[in-house]
A and B are shown apart, each in its own frame.
Chain A
Amino acid sequence: MDFFVIEVLIGGLLTGVLYALVALGFVLIFKASAVFNFAQGSMCLFAALALVRLMEIIPAPLALICAAAIMIVLAFAIERLVLRPLVNQEAIILFMATIGITFFLDGFGQSLFGSAVYTLDLGIPKDPLLLFEGLIPGGILVNEFDLWTAVAAGLLVAVLAVFFQRTRIGRALRAVADDHQAALSVGIPLRQIWVIVWSVAGLVALVAGIIWGSKLGVQFSIALVALKALPVLMLGGLTSVPGAIVGGLIVGAGEKLSEVFLGPFLGGGIENWFAYVLALVFLLVRPQGLFGERIIERV
């Protein structure tokens, strides 16, 4: 047995962290409004585009702050123009509204910032790195960039976990997601909660956009990375922050390992569909995901 397995596993886990990052945005909004935010991928693209074009005219740190501000303004606009008129509507109607937001952001973002492929350079070297050379003969080959993004994602998750688990916001969020009318009647400021959540989701989208943008280049395909978050959500559960992480890791590691070890027998290309099949199996066995809330229906 060589250490190739470990290398593949680590590579997969690091990619998985990136999937988790996108999935996290979905989880936040789902927790607060029981709405699957179809626009999450487009928000990543929009944020990354804004950042990359701003960096052409102002220094990077300033551009980052401006891009963050843009995402917060966007959250206010979405609350005012989309969510507020739809208070007390079915979740499916809010879902349709997020599809509308998707098309708007894709179109508006690209006509505002241009639709070419932009390179985003964070100054982090993308060189391969050999770890544990003393421990293991030959060492383990890792991408340094992936390592850094994993650290960044880990930090982000820790902050969010504290924010949502330790504070009363967490309980208020669940209440808002469950029943708008009842939440209003106990005095939960619905609008404020929505702005907070969409802002946080916007900032998560910015981080995801930066990382994916510097990996793939800032271009339309970033919006499609969101599709990779779907199996992650099904595995981890739509309502759980830790679930998004674990789901991301399982998907990342699973697709890399299957590609390498099952690929030769099935003709390759497994990486592209493995996650979806895994999610499908999960839906049959545990529809709420690993950490999702149990679905309770009284009949």
Chain B
Amino acid sequence: MRRIGEPVLIADRISLAFGGIVALSEVSVAIRRSEILAIIGPNGAGKTSMLNVINGFYHPHAGSITWKGVTRRRMRPYEAAAQGIARTFQNVALFKGMTTLDNIMTGRLLRMRRNFLWQAVYVGPAEREELAHRAHVERIIDFLEIEAIRKTPVGRLPYGMQKRVELARALAMEPELLLLDEPMAGMNVEEKEDMCRFILDVNDEFGTTIALIEHDMGVVMDISDRVIVLDYGRKIADGPPGEVRTSPDVIAAYLGEEAAPHSPTARVPSSSRNARSAGRGPG
């Protein structure tokens, strides 16, 4: 049984700019143990930038990141991965020429302890290790119901399946914190339902902390414990889904300043999301 605990990751007053464009200004995000946190906001609000700061792709100009009790100016991608932060990408970043199985196996690279010289010389131990990792990967494949595409090069898979393989690769790292960047973009209703189920199961069974970016408000309201809203690089709301939904700032950000305060927020972001994903081809 999962219990939401104390914050495991604290990004404190993060600021980030690209030239003259401010992507994030003094945004603080605390992610609590075992929760599902949704980060939402209009396009260009700085959501992906925030994830990139957390796993070290971007180096913030100000602020600090505390992960596992260690406070630092910035993360490094290798360090983040080695210390249990896994992620998926908005525009699916898979190894396209490799099979589903090989893609997921790359998630185990950091956990392989035998060094490569040993692997070249001593067949026995290295082979046993490879088999152990393989067994773990097979469990993930079962879990995400992708047995049928095990040997297919991922470049040939439909978009929805690629997203699932990407999730599998992240899970293979046995992460403590899982960052999902629009895990349901471009999916049909059925695929979205599957993906929601997987996310909830991962969170429930392994207690994995999850931070996700999503545009489908129905999904966000259903699965998240807490919602953070970004707009123009600032945090404008932070709280339980029900509370955020009715916040006047959030409604204004999504509908514009003139909007009636009681209009249903769920509709508008949802349709703008559809328009976006319609224009996006697979890979």
A interface list, Cβ under 8 A from B: 162-163, 166-169, 171-172, 174-175, 178-179, 181-189, 293-294, 296-298
Contacts and interface: CB of A to CB of B under 8 A. Distances in A.
B232 to A, nearest CB: 25
B163 to A, nearest CB: 13
A182 B156 CA distance: 18
Contacts of B98: 174-175, 178
B86 interface: yes
A178 B106 CA distance: 12
Contact of B77 (A167, A184, A296): A184
Given A175-B106, A296-B153, A167 B119 contact: yes
A184 B95 CA distance: 12
Interface string B84-117: 0011010001111110001001110110100011
Contacts of B77: 184-185, 187
A187 B109 contact: yes
A188 B123 CA distance: 23
Interface in B151-177: 153, 155-156, 169-170, 173
Contact of B97 (A174, A183, A189, A298): A174
Contacts of A167: 116-117, 119-120
Contact of A182 (B93, B112, B283): B93
B22 interface: no
Contacts, number: 93
A96 B153 CA distance: 29
Nearest to B83: A187
Q: Which of A168, A171, A189 has the most C-beta atoms of chain B within 10 angstroms of its own C-beta?
A: A168
A185 B81 contact: yes
B260 interface: no
A30 to B, nearest CB: 12
Interface in B56-89: 57, 77-78, 80-82, 86-87, 89
Contacts of A185: 55, 77, 81, 86-87, 89, 93, 170
A297 B153 CA distance: 11
A188 B155 contact: no
